[in-house]
Structure 1
Amino acid sequence: MFLPVRGHNRGHDSGRGDGDSGDAGGGDAGGGAGRRSRALKAVGLGLAGVLALGVAAAGLAYWHLNQNIKGVDINSALGDDRPPRADTAPSAGTATLPSGALNILVLGSDSRSGDQNKRLGGGDSEGARSDTAMIVHIDAGRTSATVVSIPRDTLVTRPSCPLDSGGSTAEAHYTMFNSAYSVGGPVCAVKTVETLTGIRMDHYVEIDFSGFAKLVDAMGGVTVTTEQDIDDDKSHLHLKAGTHHLKGTEALALARTRYGVGDGSDLGRIGLQQTLVKALLEEISDSGLLDDPAGLYRVADAVTGSLTTDTGLDSLGELTTLGQSLRGLSAQNVETVTMPVVTAPWNPNRVVAKEPDADDLWTSLR
């Protein structure tokens, strides 16, 4: 900002008396200094006001996003009767960021809460199921990862789980994997996965239909390539084989499609979900989203209202730290696999773990 300053040409004042010259020069200099002082104060106050508003807006935005996240205290609910923790200590040279191995249970729930979830396929009844389940194992150093999908139709032993209302659920054998979430929520889902795998889940993340669709839209869509035509009236998805740029509702439909691909089982849908996960990771990397504050806020605002985590991730600060620790993880270094299963001998619509293959997989991730 430029302030007007009145100048004096002293080279042409020799014919004036000292008094005239002094009065004129002294008066103008004093007035100019006063005006400059007042103008600078006004500028300073203006900048202070803008800064205060900016800090207030940032604080309000941070509070808003923090309030959106729902946290579940899984550690307190399950206590110490769990597999040992992975090593999450910082490595040399990265004192502020953890770099140890990490296991995260990620669930996509078909929550019926809210009109948008109902419109997107959550149904009309109350409650929710774990529509998608993935164990994300991040290797030490956090530059590579393995994503293991668990078919929701897998028959498992569901352990006794504590309930918020007090008491606990009964242990159940050869019951569907996604029943754990239905009867005992996130706590029972985590305990069932730990019982199945012998691996401690360090964190838990759950997103519903609405949140997933909003996430994809906030990222500007996602580009995927399908190897066959998809014609599924139940998920309302109709795509020719090839490359497509999908909006949020279309990406959600792809993640839910099962009757339009393969044999119509959950295994065919898992293949599409894994393709979608890799595509999302590539989109994040190619768009430079992690270095775009405005873009990150847009995505966070879209997702946090539909997000449930364990209490170790239920704040923006904790989520940000996790995200920063994963900056070296690229889509090319993420392997997607499915838990080895075979058709249950007594039920062609259900699967059971294929041994010893499944146990070998869990051992490799411990």
Structure 2
Amino acid sequence: MALTPRTAGAPEGSGRHGGGRRGGGRGTDRRPRRRRALRWSATVLAVVIIGTAGAGYLYYEHLNGNIQKGRRTSADDSKAQRTRPNAAGQTPLNILLIGSDSRNSAENVKLGGSKNNRGNPPLGDVQMLIHLSADRKSAAMVSIPRDTRVDIPKCEDPKTGRTYPATNGIINTSLARGGAGCTLATWENLTGVYIDHWMTIDFSGVVRMADAIGGVEVCVNQNVWDRPTPDQPGGSGLKMKAGRKKVKGVQALQWLRTRHAWGSDLMRARAQHMYLNSMLRTLKQQNIFTDTGRLTDLAEAATKSLTVSEEIGTVKKLYDLGMELKSVPTNRITSVTMPNVEDPVNGQHVVPEKGGADRMWQMLRDDVPFDKNGKEAKKKSKDEPVKSPSMDAAELGVLVQNATQSSSGPAVPGRARAIGEVLVRHGYGRAAADTSAAVSADETLVRYPSADLQGDAQAVAKALGIPVGQVKRSTDVSGVTVVVGADWRTGAAYPKKSAPKAGDVPENSDALNGSDTSKCMEVYKPYRW
């Protein structure tokens, strides 16, 4: 501690200097000594401040050094665009959370229970989009089952430089085809939702985080033991009695990995949503800032457990993200699973259920709350201002692309030609079908390359009945281009769609509110004890 001038020197009148002389002698000594004491005290104080700040800085850099980072995306052909700002100039925030089954360390092999898979490319068995509303008053957590068949775009592995061609496959394999950036690109292509960041966590990371938080409460209706059976090998090893229990460490990982005891991969997503909702409630109740040990443990666990996209690869940015999520009331957090149906190609897999999935993606793109517990906010129009065409319709070249192919079905033959003929009838004599490589899009769009063609693109959209909000500027086209998506497979006029309202989530999305503590997992009979 820095000493004050009073304690630094001798007491006044002590006679320590000059044998107790008074008058001029005392005056000549006191001022220089006081200045020296002040200088010494300031020096001590400065050392204390610098030492403390230095230790803090070194620890901050230590935490930053824990964080592993990677490129945001591994593909360069995403058509997803950011949602336009609301009336206050705020935009939503979308973060893709990926649970990796990597067994590339002894710790993960031990926890994952599969030595034969050590060194294999990891699979993204848990994939969940966390959507924070523009006003940060609501949030949604959207899961896609790991066995969903989707279009995976061309991706480049940032570590090896290897390029993987576009394919149609199971979504959990995207992580092995270019890392988390490829999974992000796959989600963007499927949903049309712009994703700002990604985070990945492996087996050992889940264990560290659960321990740092102090455990998370979960609930089962019957005694559960997820173990091998005569009909089904494997299992997470989860064993607990009916009722509520706080799980941590390895048992928390077992809860999140359990699938057989819940009956399906879809029910595993529900169990994961319950866990995350409970974890958020736990964090809200804790005041870690008054508990230095807990704060340090949580900081160490988080930075060692997560690999993140490079633009959020600092402690401060991760902390800010955490505080934004923590600020959302639990009754404004909704967990859902993408509506899906059995894959007609392989009964072991699923594909998006077109109507429900499309409505969910639209709600995310339009930043519509998944719950009904908030007040409706005034929104700024997401549409660009309507402009006048720069030329007559007969002079404008319009290219029409057939993008009706999707994970739920093949392209409709001749669709581009049919819509081109509709445009010709509207006076666009130079409209023609694009016969180049096949494309796919869930939503129909009209694209244009430069500002001078914006009015022309809007006029084309009007002729076809396409909302002006689906007219987008894009550097991927050389002229006005109509992309006929999977949402317009029949008919000469674009089908009118009603805008989704707050809480209008599909019934088959297994929605769960973050404040609901009444839910417990039902245990599949072979795994009861």
Q: Is the 8 A contact 1:227 1:241 kept in 2?
A: yes
The CA distance in 2 between the partners of 1:245 and 1:39, in whole Å, is 57
TM-score, reference length from structure 2: 0.60
Alignment length (residue pairs): 346
1:22 Cα deviation after fit: 8.2
Structure with more helix by fraction: 1
SS at match of 2:163: coil
The equivalences for 1:101-250 within 5 A come to: 101-121=92-112, 123-124=114-115, 125-126=118-119, 127-164=121-158, 165-166=160-161, 168-173=163-168, 175-233=169-227, 234-250=235-251
Which amino acid is the alignment partner of residue 279 of structure 1? S
The CA distance in 2 between the partners of 1:339 and 1:270, in whole Å, is 10
The CA distance in 2 between the partners of 1:183 and 1:22, in whole Å, is 87
> Is 1:6 aligned with 2:11?
yes
The CA distance in 2 between the partners of 1:199 and 1:136, in whole Å, is 12
C-alpha distance 226-90 of structure 1, shift in aligned 2 (>3 A):
farther
**What is the aligned-residue identity percentage?**
35
Corresponding residue for residue 298 of structure 1:
297
C-alpha distance 121-21 of structure 1, shift in aligned 2 (>3 A):
closer
Q: Is the 8 A contact 1:143 1:326 kept in 2?
A: no
C-alpha distance 72-89 of structure 1, shift in aligned 2 (>3 A):
farther
Which amino acid is the alignment partner of residue 109 of structure 1? S
Which amino acid is the alignment partner of residue 84 of structure 1? Q
Corresponding residue for residue 254 of structure 1:
255
Q: Is the 8 A contact 2:284 2:326 kept in 1?
A: no
Q: Is the 8 A contact 1:100 1:142 kept in 2?
A: no
C-alpha distance 25-235 of structure 1, shift in aligned 2 (>3 A):
farther
C-alpha distance 195-363 of structure 1, shift in aligned 2 (>3 A):
same
Corresponding residue for residue 494 of structure 2:
none
| Per-residue Cα deviation, 1:231-274 (whole angstroms, up to 9, x for no partner) | 1132121112211111122111100111222x2x2112111100
The CA distance in 2 between the partners of 1:295 and 1:136, in whole Å, is 25
Q: Is the 8 A contact 1:161 1:188 kept in 2?
A: yes
Cα RMSD for the two superposed structures: 2.8
Which amino acid is the alignment partner of residue 273 of structure 1? Q
1:163 Cα deviation after fit: 3.0
C-alpha distance 6-289 of structure 1, shift in aligned 2 (>3 A):
closer
Q: Is the 8 A contact 2:220 2:242 kept in 1?
A: yes
C-alpha distance 70-276 of structure 1, shift in aligned 2 (>3 A):
same
Extract unaligned runs of 5+ from structure 1.
Answer: 10-19, 93-98
SS at match of 1:146: strand
C-alpha distance 159-321 of structure 1, shift in aligned 2 (>3 A):
same
SS at match of 1:78: coil
The CA distance in 1 between the partners of 2:78 and 2:210, in whole Å, is 38
> Is 1:279 aligned with 2:278?
yes
Segment drifting more, 136-145 vs 341-350? 341-350
C-alpha distance 25-115 of structure 1, shift in aligned 2 (>3 A):
farther
Segment drifting more, 349-358 vs 142-151? 349-358
The CA distance in 1 between the partners of 2:43 and 2:87, in whole Å, is 44
The CA distance in 2 between the partners of 1:325 and 1:89, in whole Å, is 17
C-alpha distance 6-104 of structure 1, shift in aligned 2 (>3 A):
closer
Segment drifting more, 219-228 vs 252-261? 219-228
Extract unaligned runs of 5+ from structure 2.
Answer: 228-234, 366-529
1:48 Cα deviation after fit: 1.9
| Per-residue Cα deviation, 1:51-99 (whole angstroms, up to 9, x for no partner) | 1111111111111111221222225x4336331013468947xxxxxx4
1:31 Cα deviation after fit: 6.3
1:162 Cα deviation after fit: 2.3
Corresponding residue for residue 43 of structure 2:
45
**Larger RCO: 1 or 2 (CA < 8 Å, sep 6+):** 1
Corresponding residue for residue 287 of structure 2:
288
Corresponding residue for residue 73 of structure 1:
71
Which amino acid is the alignment partner of residue 166 of structure 2? E
SS at match of 1:142: coil
The CA distance in 1 between the partners of 2:272 and 2:326, in whole Å, is 23
Which amino acid is the alignment partner of residue 103 of structure 2? R
